[in-house]
Amino acid sequence: MVFTIILTLILLSILIFVHEFGHFSVSKLLKVPVEQFSIGFGPKLFSFKLKETEFKISLIPFGGYVKIFGEEEVGENSFWERPFIIKFLILSAGVFFNLVFGYFVIFLLFYIFGIVEYENIIDKPLKNSSAQKIGLLMGDRILEVDGRRFIRWKDFYAIFQDGDTHKVKILRNKKDTLTLKLYGIWDDTLSKYETGIVPLVLPVIGDVIEDFPASKAGLKKGDTIIEISGKKIYKWEDIQEVVEKSQGRELEIKVKRQGKILNFSIKPKKYGNSYKLGIRADVKIIKLSFLDALGYSFEETYFIIYQTFRIVYLLISGKTPVSSIGGPVMIGKIIGETRKTGLSSLLFLLAFISIELALINIFPFPALDGGHLLIISIEAIIRKRLSFKLRAVIQMIGFVILISLAVLITIFDIHRLLK
């Protein structure tokens, strides 16, 4: 627990530092003095001065700020009297740095570790999908799409986003080659074309997570799970279904290991709102070239951004409850569990939170960077400065609302943990 708290504070501090360093470095580049650079809010714990800037670490770790010269001044020396482009670049720099940092970490992960990919075998097509209608079956192996060899599922799905029909060459029963015409059907919920095809993940263990029930019971990488409490297992989804339905009750698991049948009794562990054994599926790792890693990292960053705005839409429209939002406590819990799955997972989570932090800050809400950008944009349009008093009132209202939201989300977090 203590280690998880320390790790959470370290990771959040890294992201806050990246964000505030964006404001700081662009201010210095544009020759705008910076008075304070703080990681955290409230009373200072430690500080030192370098030239005109005081660097400090403050008591409350969830945030930070850069105090720019003239930010609280009125008149000619005020920061807000500077040209629009200078204010815009400085205020947006934190968001930009968080986005670039997130992208860079994802790039390093893809380039160094490669990408995870499932076999090109399809699961049972979804009901009423185009895949079901044209006769695709569970176990079919995709060989080609429009004459191009199948490489990655993400590329496969992207092909069908044009709404057209494409020729798919498959291998059935390891001997019969068929070419079928497949198309996507528009899904309003997901806002994309869906073929109804998902990869078949075989019930072969690729990794056993430390300190989880499977590890303690003796399951090993390469084991094939063939039966759980009397239910035959044909694919990885069957494992997840049985474990979830167990509600934490002990399971009798039968595995095949090097030709031998072994039996284990394992009680799943509560993880968030679900139950886990602590195993991951066996997947293949594809190594990427430098240029491919750049491209795939851009796609992954775009996907995170797209999904974030989609969730915001669902929250605003009432389709997703506000109570589903996680705060610092939940982030800490996720970090604590993620560290057990390896360095790459922890680094990806760091990149994900960095991108999320950028997107949160860009929202046009008082006390956030987006709120400042909105105000200076309005001033540029109406060609008039808002009074310092009005600006201060707007920021104070925004700050109070943000603190209230933070408290509310923390309550939701604690409630979830207690459940």
The pLDDT tens digits of the residues spanning 79-138 come to 888 899 999 999 999 999 999 999 999 999 999 988 878 888 999 999 999 999 999 999
Which CATH architecture best describes the domain 130-194? Roll (2.30)
Is 184:195 a contact under the CB 8 Å cutoff? Answer: yes
* Predicted confidence (pLDDT) per residue in 195-215, tens digit: 999 999 889 998 898 889 999
CA-based nearest residue to 309, from 269, 363, 263: 363
Please identify which residue in the block is written with the tokens 């806050």.
16
CB contact set of 125 (below 8 Å; sequence gap of 6+): 131, 132, 136, 137, 138, 196, 197
One-character DSSP codes across 305-327: HHHHHHHHHHHHTTSS-GGG---
Check residue 237 and give its pLDDT: 87
Tell me what pLDDT residue 252 has.
94
Q: What is the pTM of this model?
A: 0.70
User: Is residue 412 over pLDDT 70?
Assistant: no
Residue 417 has pLDDT above 70, yes or no: no
Kindly tell me if the per-residue pLDDT of 174 is higher than 90: no
What is the number of other CB atoms lying within 10 angstroms of the CB of residue 356? 19
**Average pLDDT in the 19-47 region?**
89
Quick one: pLDDT at residue 97?
96
Q: Give φ, ψ of 123 to 5 degrees.
A: -80, 180
Q: Which residues are part of the catalytic machinery?
A: 20
So what's the pLDDT on residue 393? 82
Domain-wise residue ranges, the chain: 2-113+350-418, 130-194, 205-276
Say if residue 192's pLDDT is above 90. no
Is the pLDDT reported for residue 51 higher than 90?
A: no
What Rg do the C-alpha atoms of the chain give, in angstroms?
26
Check for a shared fold between 130-194 and 205-276: yes
Percent of the chain whose pLDDT exceeds 90 = 37
Residue 10 CB neighbour total at 10 angstroms:
11
For residues 33 and 52, the answer to whether their CB atoms sit within 8 Å is: yes
Range picked from 145-159, 228-242, 271-285 for highest mean pLDDT: 228-242
d(CA 306, CA 87) in angstroms, rounded, equals 27
Scored b (16 or more CB within 10 A) or e, 310-321 reads eeeeeeeeeeee
Give kind and range of the element (H or E) at residue 142: strand 141-145
Strand-pairing partners, residue 279, are 208
Question: What is the pLDDT, as a whole number, of residue 419?
Answer: 58
Mean pLDDT, rounded, for 55-63: 81
Percent of the chain with pLDDT over 70: 89
Q: In this model, does residue 45 exceed pLDDT 70?
A: yes
State the average pLDDT over residues 69-78: 73
Distance CA 352, CA 344 (A): 12
* pLDDT tens by residue, 348-397: 889 999 998 899 888 888 778 888 898 889 888 998 887 777 877 887 88
If you classify domain 205-276 with CATH, what class do you get?
A: mainly beta
pLDDT, one tens digit per residue, over 299-338 is 889 888 887 887 777 777 776 666 666 666 666 667 766 6
> In 10 A of CB 162, how many CB atoms?
11
Q: Which pLDDT band holds residue 74 (cuts at 50, 70, 90)?
A: low
Strands (E), 148-257: 148-149, 165-172, 176-183, 185-187, 192-194, 205-208, 224-228, 231-232, 251-257
Instruction: Compute the mean pLDDT over every residue in the chain, rounded to the nearest whole number.
Output: 85
